[in-house]
């Protein structure tokens, strides 16, 4: 089923993001997590491409298994990194054969050890080019990424929003945001996006905080921010894992409730391949589902 159909239902949708593990042990752990989260009836789950476009074959294998063995709608991430048109067509062909109908089209980050993105020969430099290519040659539902606080490589918010408008006009069906911890970032972003004619669903991406050092690294890498008051609370309990978990779950649950109560079409959870925090948050939102 194509993801836009879920948005058309008028009910909040919930989805989960996973990354492809590097080991067989990690894969089995992932599928235990998926089994635990499947009971929460997600509209779909997505699987990333790995840093720098690595693990692309593992991504294909994981989404095929999620849909084939678990019957959960799966979306594969697809990036421009390290891929020419033939490779992109090959991956899309594999996905089509497996019954996958949804892809998240991204430029992707540079491979490890490289500071800047380099276009592959006969490949693409920007996500909008990949979107246009998929739209012209294939029949997938296409999602894209957006950055409420601006892309880490483009801190001019108006310019970054203009880039998003180009992607949407090229053929995106929906957008998923980068993680954020202050809902004003999302609501302000949606208002600005609608003002320039971006009309597709904008699904907020939420990452429950479970480790203080980890969330600091993530926000530094992606250009998001942690509100000063939240950071102060986290640092006060950072040596107590249970307290960090409780604080992270509580903050994310409050975020989700406010987002859904004020018009967000659903929540996309960045799970980090773990289920306890996401399960706890969704239990607290049972009245809104």
Residue with tokens 């939102």: 285
Q: CB atoms < 10 A from the CB of 243, how many?
A: 14
Of the residues 8, 17, 25, 69, only one is catalytic, namely: 17
Stretch (H or E) spanning 191: helix 183-195
| Rounded CA separation 275/33 (Å) | 6
What pLDDT score does 45 carry?
A: 97
Does position 53 have pLDDT exceeding 60, yes or no?
no
pLDDT band at 77 (very low <50, low <70, confident <90, very high): very high
Residues in the chain: 289
CATH number of domain containing 92: 3.20.20.220
Domain carrying residue 10:
4-288
Residue with tokens 């989260």: 37
List pLDDT tens digits, range 86-138.
999 999 999 999 999 999 999 987 666 666 777 788 889 899 999 999 999 99
Copy the structure tokens of residue 107: 């430029």
The verdict on whether 17 is a catalytic residue reads yes
SS3 173: coil
Stretch (H or E) spanning 268: strand 266-270
Angle, nearest 10°, between helix axes 85-97 and 56-70? 10
Number of domains in the chain: 1
């Amino acid at each position: 089923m194509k993801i836009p159909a879920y948005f058309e239902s008028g009910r909040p949708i919930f989805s989960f993001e996973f990354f492809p593990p590097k080991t067989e042990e990690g894969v089995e752990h992932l599928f235990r997590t998926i089994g635990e989260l499947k009971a929460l009836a997600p509209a779909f789950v997505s699987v990333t491409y790995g840093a720098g476009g690595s693990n692309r074959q593992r991504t294909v294998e994981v989404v095929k298994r999620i849909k084939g063995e678990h019957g959960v709608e799966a979306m594969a991430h697809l990036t421009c990194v390290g891929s020419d048109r033939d490779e992109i067509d090959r991956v899309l062909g594999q996905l089509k054969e497996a019954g996958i109908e949804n892809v998240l089209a991204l430029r992707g980050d540079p491979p490890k050890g490289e500071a800047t993105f380099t276009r592959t020969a006969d490949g693409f430099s920007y996500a909008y080019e990949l979107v246009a290519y998929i739209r012209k040659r294939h029949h997938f539902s296409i999602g894209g990424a957006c950055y409420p606080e601006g892309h880490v490589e483009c801190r001019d918010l108006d310019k970054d929003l203009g880039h998003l408008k180009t992607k949407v006009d090229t053929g995106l069906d929906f957008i998923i945001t980068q993680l954020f911890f202050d809902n004003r970032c999302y609501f302000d972003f949606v208002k600005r996006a609608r003002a320039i004619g971006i009309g597709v669903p904008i699904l907020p991406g939420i990452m429950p905080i479970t480790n203080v050092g980890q969330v600091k690294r993530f926000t530094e890498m992606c250009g998001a921010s942690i509100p000063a008051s939240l950071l102060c609370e986290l640092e006060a309990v950072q040596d107590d894992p249970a307290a960090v978990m409780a604080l992270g779950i509580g903050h994310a649950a409050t975020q989700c409730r406010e987002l859904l109560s004020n018009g967000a079409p659903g929540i996309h959870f960045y799970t980090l391949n773990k289920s306890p925090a996401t399960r706890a948050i969704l239990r607290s939102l049972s009245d809104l589902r």
